Amino acid sequence: MKTYFSFFLFFSFTSLSFGQETISDIPYTENNFEDLAFLKKEIGDKTIICLGEEWHRTETFSQVKNRIVKYLHSELGFKYILFESSIYSAAIAEQEMLKGEERLIETVQTIWRTESVLDLIHYIDHTKETDKAITQFGFDLQGAYTDRFSKELIDITSRHNPDLVDELTKTETLIQKEWIRIHRSFKNKKSIISSREIEVYQNLKKTIESSSEKYFYLMDKDYLLWLIENRIFLCNLLMDGHDKFYREQILSKNLEWMVNHIGKDEKIIIWAADIHITKNQAKTYKGAKKSMLELLPENIQSKVFSLSLIPVESLPKKLKKQVNKLPQRFLYYPISEDSFLKHKYSEFDAQIICKRTESIEHFMVE
């Protein structure tokens, strides 16, 4: 199914019909981005572009983000994309050069295993054959979606510290089972993970650190060590009963590490939920804790442009009524001091209002 987009640009507000610029209708499967050219001026010199969504399970958001990612890559030179998905799985996918549905299943959460994201994965696959290859990373510490990473970790250990293999195998099996059980549980969040499992990963880190090798298969040593560190983070997360703020802190640490590892001057796209890419959530909402972005060092925060996608249903009643009178399906506006939604969405740089959104239900890739 081809979905068509129409963007509507707001530069200021006195009424919803002031200062408009109409952007053409183009299918997300076509690589024509003339309608998105305004983003170059909007983004300016920012090198980290965050693409959020107010809630998951909405295929329309992914369809819009699909086109924006392609535009950022083909026209503005962004060549790294980081999904709010398993840091381990993305590493394996790049290392084993997975493609198509296999890469989709390995590297993104179930909520994004849809037709439009698969189309984006095919686009990423195609870039690997060019001099503008996109590299895909994950920055979530939560469990891998297959056992590929566990197998590789055990294989590496067997070559460098055979005595640790049995303990690591048991630990990997346990941590995966506990992750699935606690992630699916609404009541019993208490895990049997203990300091004993953490010690296994600490011993593995020491083994890798003492090795003279710089690469383990195609993975560099520093990256492997950070992935093992994330196993320790995951143990702590499980022991803490899946504490949401602890996860937010680790997402931020992972993003910071990735930015520094990739290169501070490289252009990076972040694909995540709105809640993680807010710029001043702690100040906007009483009692709220800092988001992933707010926890980043200032030198990285200053490079970020945060773009939120919301359904028209989220607007205040009066504004919703006005927006629904407009023919365009997608409305883009920057959030400046005089923006009409500054009071409600001040934690973002800009937003796209999406009308007539569709659920992922009929777009899932089986």
Which helix (H) or strand (E) segment is 8 a member of? strand 7-10
Interior angle at CA 80, CA 79 and CA 85, nearest 5: 150
- Whether 81 and 269 have beta carbons less than 8 Å apart is answered as yes
Is 273 within a domain?
no
pLDDT of the residue at 336: 65
Nearest partner of 137 among 48, 30, 33, 197, judged by Cα: 48
> What is the C-alpha separation between 287 and 284, in angstroms, rounded?
9
Question: So what's the pLDDT on residue 186?
Answer: 55
Averaged over 220-246, what is the pLDDT? Answer: 92
Percent of the chain with pLDDT over 70: 88
Query: Does 161 fall in a domain?
Result: yes
Residue 342: its pLDDT value, please? 54
Instruction: Please report the pLDDT score of residue 1 as a whole number.
Output: 52
In a domain, 163, yes or no: yes
Question: In this predicted model, what pLDDT tens digit does every residue of 135-172 receive, in sequence order?
Answer: 999 999 876 778 899 999 999 999 999 999 999 999 99
Look at residue 139 and tell me if it is in a domain: no
* DSSP characters over 206-226: HHHHH---SEETTEEHHHHHH
Rounded Cα gap, residues 302 and 335, in angstroms:
16
Beta-strand pair 135-140/268-271: unpaired
Paired tokens of 291: 């988001």
Give the Cβ contact number of residue 357 at 10 Å: 18
Give the number of domains in the chain.
Answer: 1
The phi, psi pair for 162, rounded to 5°, reads -55, -30
SS3 at position 182: helix
203 located within any domain: yes
CB atoms within 10 A of CB 136: 23
Q: Which domain holds residue 216?
A: 145-265
Whose tokens are 């899932």? That residue is 364
Q: Is residue 298 part of a domain?
A: no
Residue 195 lies in a domain: yes
Residue burial 312-335, b: 16+ Cβ < 10 Å; e: rest: bebbeeebeeebeebebbbbbbbb
Tens-digit pLDDT profile for residues 266-313: 999 999 999 999 998 877 777 789 999 999 999 999 999 999 999 999
Residue 233 maps to a domain: yes
Residue 242 is predicted with a pLDDT of: 74
Q: Is residue 20 scored above 90 in pLDDT?
A: no
Tell me how long the chain is.
Answer: 366
CB 95 within 8 A of CB 356: no
Q: Which of the two residues, 16 and 267, has the higher pLDDT score?
A: 267
Does residue 365 or residue 346 have the better pLDDT? Answer: 365
- Calculate the alpha carbon distances from 268 to 40, 94, 249, 303 in Å: 15, 16, 20, 10
Task: Give ∠ CA 262-254-277 in degrees, rounded to 5.
Answer: 100
5 has a pLDDT exceeding 80: no
